A and B are shown apart, each in its own frame.
Chain A
Amino acid sequence: MKKFDVEIIVGIFVFCGLLCLAYMSVRLGKVNLLGDHYYSVNAVFSSVKGLKKDTVVEISGVEVGKVDNIKLIDYQAVVSLLIRDDIKLQEDAIASIRTKGLLGEKYVEITPGGSDTLINPGDSLHQTEPPIDIEKLIGNFVFGKVKE
């Protein structure tokens, strides 16, 4: 009976520990165990300055996916975006790279289009907007190139 008790207590302890580990990974870190289903869309940008892998993709501020990887093809930055399966994009949707706050991290914002044709997985978004270059803007301002 005594040994039995110890085993149950150890079992409960290990279970609690694993539960905490799982909580830590899923709730606090962004480890996705269940794996939402995503489809991939490419977007060609003239510049992806400051954009990193795994940053979020948003529509109207709601998170709908993430940046899968960034490649250079024909001297243009090709970003492949993973979008959640239940979010459909029109073929004339606009992908733009924005900044959170003034100095925050970069993310991709998608503005939905008006077309009836939906984009297929693996296709490309053609209308894109590169990030606003804050350093250049400040430079222009300081050296007086901004027209009134």
Chain B
Amino acid sequence: MVCFLATAFFWAVFPPYLLRRIVKQINFIGVKTTLVIVLTGTFTGMVLALQTYYALVKFGAETSLGPVLALSLIRELGPVLSALMVTGRAGSALTAEIGIMRISEQIDALDAMALNPYKYLVIPNLLAGIISIPLLNAIFVVVGVWGGYAVAVGLTGVSSGTYFGGIRDFVSAKDILVGLYKSLSFGMLITWISCYKGYFTGYGAEGVSKATTQAVVLSSVTILIWDYFMTSILLT
């Protein structure tokens, strides 16, 4: 698997760069996931605001609702949930697409025409993942903070100045960088695993369905495990 990634990056250095393919894949991985991200982001922010409010109001600390919400969104929930959403929506489709190209011998055809399949299939996906997932993460966080704002200010009556003032006091550039690093690495993990599973799929329809399942399960589990280690390294 590491070899697979190394080969992909090796070929990524040489031209032609196939920018059109990258744009097309950003459209597929990024743009078409935006709606899902906006929806999950809003409701995650809203439910988080509600839950934290009921927990904090016991201590009379509802003024720190904003920071709690923003920090958990920026550091953890934004990167992880947006990565999981992309896995479910785009990762599975990638594996299926590449897997079917493998079993219908389209990849062998590329090889036979002396076109590098890494260049045409794997690299655009990897780069598109690395570019679009941090952006999706940013959208998720901003939408989540505003969703939380709607609940906090509209429903529970925390003042809007307290909400944003608290966020600005407690969120530092380091937190945002941590979230960014996380989503960058998740972007690579998802596309790497999905492409690998599709590229080396088993035979027949059963093989592709198995590969797709494996890709989704492996990506989701790896994201959560990798997230723990990233947090423990970056926050010390």
Chain A contact residues, CB within 8 Å of chain B: 3, 6-7, 9-10, 13-14, 16-18, 20-21, 23-25, 27-31
Cα of A30 to Cα of B174 in the assembled complex, Å: 10
Stretch in B23-31, B114-122, B210-218 touching the partner: B23-31
B131 at the interface (CB under 8 A from A): yes
Cα of A30 to Cα of B167 in the assembled complex, Å: 10
Cα of A25 to Cα of B26 in the assembled complex, Å: 23
How far, in Å, is B163 (CB) from chain A's closest CB?
A: 11
If A6-B23, A10-B27, A13-B31 touch, does A31 touch B173 (CB 8 Å cutoff)?
yes
Q: Tell me whether A9 and B31 are in contact (CB under 8 A).
A: yes
B153 at the interface (CB under 8 A from A): no
How far, in Å, is A37 (CB) from chain B's closest CB?
A: 20
Q: Tell me whether B27 and A25 are in contact (CB under 8 A).
A: no
A6, A13, A28, A30 — most chain B CB neighbours (10 Å): A28
Cα of A7 to Cα of B26 in the assembled complex, Å: 10
Cα of A24 to Cα of B33 in the assembled complex, Å: 20
Cα of A18 to Cα of B135 in the assembled complex, Å: 6
If A13-B135, A17-B134, A20-B142 touch, does A28 touch B31 (CB 8 Å cutoff)?
no
Q: Tell me whether B134 and A21 are in contact (CB under 8 A).
A: yes
Q: Tell me whether A28 and B139 are in contact (CB under 8 A).
A: no
If A9-B27, A17-B134, A17-B136 touch, does A28 touch B34 (CB 8 Å cutoff)?
no
Cα of A18 to Cα of B171 in the assembled complex, Å: 19
Q: Tell me whether B139 and A17 are in contact (CB under 8 A).
A: yes
Cα of A27 to Cα of B141 in the assembled complex, Å: 12
Q: Tell me whether A13 and B30 are in contact (CB under 8 A).
A: yes
